[in-house]
Amino acid sequence: MVDQEILDSWKEISAYLNRSIKTCQRWESVYRLPVHRLDGSPKASIFAYKDELDDWLHETLRPKDVKFAFNPRILLFLTAAILVLAVIFLFLWKPWTGQDLSFIPPEELTLAVLFFQNDTGDENLDVWTEGISRMLITKLIQSRRIKVLSDDRLYSILHRLDLSESRNYTTEQLKSISELSSASHVVKGYFTKSADILRIYFTLQDSENFDIVGTDYVESRDVGDFIRMADDLSPKIMSCLGIAPFKPNNEEVKSLAEITTPSAEAYRYYSEGVKYYHRVDYRVGIPLMEHAIDVDPEFALAWLMLSRMHHNRSNLKAHKKALEQAVKHKNRGPRWAQFLIDGSDYYMKCEYREASELFEQVINIVPDQAAALRSLAAISSNSGIYTVSA
């Protein structure tokens, strides 16, 4: 088999089949499109042979010789079935109650929330370009109706594309981000300040043709009101996606102040610290996280991130101390963070079976959460308890 007969990326496969990448990936999953992986795992590099694709197209998509004959009984049956479905639809919707119908989106609905652009002219607000994205991700992950690209995964992709410092994205850059993340939609935005009014704008685009699905904004006269504004932005994004916004009385959905911190100052230090965590610059990141904790001693995510940075520097004493505080204040964190904190605590105590179960809970909520995935891999290699399902 000659080299030119091999296609070594989804981009080349989609071009050869004249279909979108998502369609090709769906064909592989549903119709067994012959795509190979170097080590057999779902995340390995992929390749395909042109002749195998040609054979698959011939066998799978060729027209079938089927003869149709009109049958009045079939027509009657189909009519009755449609009427039954209509009745079920009305019963479930109950339009006479005046409630809106909320459709659950398909499983492939995945959102990438990119960094925002600072158009205020105030460099002191630059930290919120990542902070707004980080807060929206934390808030939206609470919804079970949408998959949201984690902060870890987003930074990894932007770094790979040399876009970690970018705040305004071209269509080609959005396309590259979407291909690497498999996101069905992307959110980008900017914030302005005029006459003491702060506004945060967002634009939601689909990843197929990058058409604008919706735009909206929130505003405040308090420049330190970023946390509440991000809380208010989240349901607007969900509405643009056709998802019912969070219900105020839903106990599973909490405000950002409840699962992060009510202090904008503490969150500013935290968000800046996370940036340096991603850059593996713990010398700068650790003091920033300590400042966040000085402002809000019960900031569970800050304690968790501080423990991770100390762990990565092999300062196990400081790691243990920070993790103990994270355990103490874990109820002030989102659900996935609570599982990650408890899992890390069990891991530190060498109770790997309990740890692996908790890390599994983390990736059930945030499938690409880096710390949980690395910990599971470490447990797998060291104890053999955890194995990745085929």
In this structure, what CATH number is given to the domain that contains residue 172?
A: 3.40.50.10070
One domain for residues 239 and 275: no
User: Is there a domain that residue 84 lies in?
Assistant: no
User: Is there a domain that residue 160 lies in?
Assistant: yes
Rounded distance, CA 342 to CA 348, Å?
10
Which is more confidently placed, 295 or 143? 295
Where helices occur in the chain by DSSP H, the ranges are 10-17, 21-31, 50-60, 72-93, 128-140, 151-160, 171-181, 226-240, 256-259, 264-278, 282-295, 300-312, 316-328, 335-348, 352-365, 370-383
User: Is there a domain that residue 341 lies in?
Assistant: yes
User: Is there a domain that residue 123 lies in?
Assistant: yes
> What pLDDT sits at residue 378?
83
One domain for residues 136 and 212: yes
User: Is there a domain that residue 94 lies in?
Assistant: no
Total tally of structural domains belonging to the chain: 3
Lowest average pLDDT, out of 37-41, 222-226, 336-340, 371-375, goes to 37-41
pLDDT, tens digit (0-9, with 9 covering 90-100), for 103-144 = 444 446 889 999 999 998 889 999 999 999 999 999 999 888
One domain for residues 248 and 278: no
205: three-class secondary structure by DSSP: strand
Please answer whether residues 89 and 95 qualify as being in contact, where contact means their C-beta atoms are separated by less than 8 angstroms.
no
One domain for residues 344 and 282: yes
Look at strands 46-49 and 197-206 and give their pairing.
Answer: unpaired
pLDDT, tens digit (0-9, with 9 covering 90-100), for 229-273 = 999 999 999 988 888 766 655 546 789 999 999 999 999 999 999
User: Is there a domain that residue 96 lies in?
Assistant: no
Please answer whether residues 299 and 266 qualify as being in contact, where contact means their C-beta atoms are separated by less than 8 angstroms.
yes
User: Is there a domain that residue 182 lies in?
Assistant: yes
CATH assignment of the domain containing 304: 1.25.40.10
49: three-class secondary structure by DSSP: strand
One domain for residues 311 and 211: no
pLDDT, tens digit (0-9, with 9 covering 90-100), for 74-91 = 556 666 667 666 655 555
Rounded distance, CA 34 to CA 36, Å?
7
pLDDT, tens digit (0-9, with 9 covering 90-100), for 4-31 = 578 888 888 888 887 778 778 877 776 7
CA-to-CA separations, 14 to 3, 59, 231, in angstroms, rounded: 18, 18, 38
Domain interval for residue 379: 264-383
Rounded distance, CA 307 to CA 185, Å?
33
> What pLDDT sits at residue 128?
93
Residue type for 166, please?
Answer: S
CA-to-CA separations, 342 to 35, 165, 259, 317, in angstroms, rounded: 39, 33, 16, 18
> What pLDDT sits at residue 131?
93
pTM attached to this predicted model: 0.69
Q: Which of 236, 256, 276 is the C-terminal boundary of a domain?
A: 256
> What pLDDT sits at residue 274?
94
Q: What is the DSSP code (8-state) at residue 105?
A: P
User: Is there a domain that residue 175 lies in?
Assistant: yes
C-beta atoms surrounding 17 within 10 Å: 19
CATH assignment of the domain containing 15: 1.10.10
pLDDT, tens digit (0-9, with 9 covering 90-100), for 155-188 = 988 989 898 888 888 889 989 998 998 889 999 9
116: three-class secondary structure by DSSP: coil
Kindly tell me if the per-residue pLDDT of 60 is higher than 80.
no
How confident is residue 323, by pLDDT bands cut at 50, 70 and 90? very high
